[in-house]
């Protein structure tokens, strides 16, 4: 077994792990800060994927640009989910059964709405760079995975640094007592997470 044979799958695994880490960051924030068991997180991810797919199919918009366009669209969707559903949950510093049931039901609604619109057929986006790679000797790095990994790092690292450096580790009761300015700061910090973590699902509670 050569060094290239070892590094090639290792790099691919690291890129994939970074993507999954970014996807889970939003759910971690809402659970850690607001104690909401957001089972609808996957629903936001699914709709984000279909959003980029529809932009590509109907308007021939590159999926990377489509991800950028998803920022304001799904941020507003998260605000709507907050005002219509999440804000009515009882306030608690511990995870509650009502939040679990509410967000699970919301996920079922999103899932079935997606099924009615897009049915159960597999869909994918194929661009000129989908199957291309950067080659460093015998090591190949997928351009798509690398681009998504970089976007994930951009969305996760600054947010994590801001939270730890400013001591933003509050309980839900602490959060409710903070000024509107700090709550607005939280919304602004959540915007980058929309790109890869289903950001609205991490921001629906302020």
pLDDT in tens, 91-106: 777 777 888 899 999 9
Which residues are registered as beta bridge partners of 134?
A: 141
Chain center to CA of 7:
28
pLDDT digits (tens, 9 = 90+) for 105-164: 999 999 999 999 999 888 889 999 988 999 888 888 989 889 888 887 887 776 666 555
d(CA 12, CA 23): 17
Determine if the pTM surpasses 0.95: no
């Amino acid at each position: 077994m050569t060094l290239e044979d070892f590094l090639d799958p290792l790099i691919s695994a690291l890129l994939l792990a970074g993507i999954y880490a970014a996807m889970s960051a939003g759910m971690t924030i809402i659970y850690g800060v607001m104690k909401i068991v957001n089972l609808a997180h996957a629903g936001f991810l699914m709709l984000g994927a279909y959003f980029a797919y529809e932009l590509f199919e109907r308007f021939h918009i590159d999926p990377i640009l489509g991800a950028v366009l998803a920022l304001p669209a799904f941020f507003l969707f998260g605000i709507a989910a907050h005002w219509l559903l999440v804000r009515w949950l009882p306030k608690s510093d511990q995870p509650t059964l009502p939040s679990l049931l509410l967000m699970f039901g919301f996920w079922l609604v999103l899932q079935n709405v997606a099924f009615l619109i897009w049915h159960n057929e597999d869909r994918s986006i194929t661009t000129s760079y989908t199957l291309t790679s950067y080659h460093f000797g015998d090591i190949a790095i997928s351009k798509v995975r690398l681009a998504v990994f970089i976007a994930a790092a951009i969305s996760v690292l600054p947010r994590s640094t801001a939270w730890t450096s400013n001591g933003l580790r509050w309980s839900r009761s602490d959060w409710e007592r903070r000024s509107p300015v700090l709550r607005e700061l939280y919304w602004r910090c959540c915007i980058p997470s929309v790109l890869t973590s289903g950001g609205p699902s991490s921001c629906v509670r302020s």
